[in-house]
Amino acid sequence: MNIFITATNTNIGKTYASKLLIKEFSKQGYKVGVYKPIETGFNKIEETDSFALLKEAKKYNKNINDLTIDDICPYQFKLPSAPIVAKNNTPILKEKLLSSLEKIKELCDIVIIEGAGGLFVPIEKDFFMIDLIKLFQAKTLLVSHSGLGSINDSILSKNALRDMDYLFCINLFREKESFREITYPYYQAINEDVLFLEEDISAIASKISL
């Protein structure tokens, strides 16, 4: 099973969500692998999301002990920008993306795939982060923030995913004190039972693995 972690923007909590799911699925007895197909701002390896994901997954799944950063992140670019800019003239090949994923899948029951930025971060002129979800035939976890503006951000992303298999949750880390007053009433108004990333991680894992 492939589970793609995306968010309403950058710095919302994709890596945090991925690490929580690695731990939760491992507790349930699954062998979990990780995949970060493209990472920009890739300078010091120890400071990358790829390194954090691989380090966390290796705590629980011995099958992936021999995997390296290059295995789980086939495209690494130094410039901290959208891949279409950071890659310069390097072509990002769908065949390479798929073959790298297949190597990881052979060692795991579940692969947590972390995207970069939001759904419409461009990889090529006509190829976006959301297209990776389709390419990998993955279920999707959409993570939103809890600050002012998250309603608009969430609606836009949910609309983009409307024909896809996804689960929505909120990472309660911005403006936590005002969230119940400023943002939560919207979800009450539309009768949505909101899942919160940290406190509801068991429910999130169960729902997304169905």
How far apart are the C-alpha atoms of 183 and 174, rounded to whole Å?
Answer: 11
Helical segments of 118-200, H only: 129-136, 150-160, 176-182, 184-189
The amino acid that residue 35 corresponds to is Y
Amino acid letter for position 152: N
* Measured CA distances, 130 to 82, 117, 158, 204 (Å): 13, 10, 12, 20
Is 125 noted as a catalytic residue in this protein? no
Kindly name the residue from 14, 19, 36, 139 that is annotated as catalytic.
Answer: 36
On the CB side of 169, CA atoms within 13 Å amount to 28
Just list the catalytic residues: 36
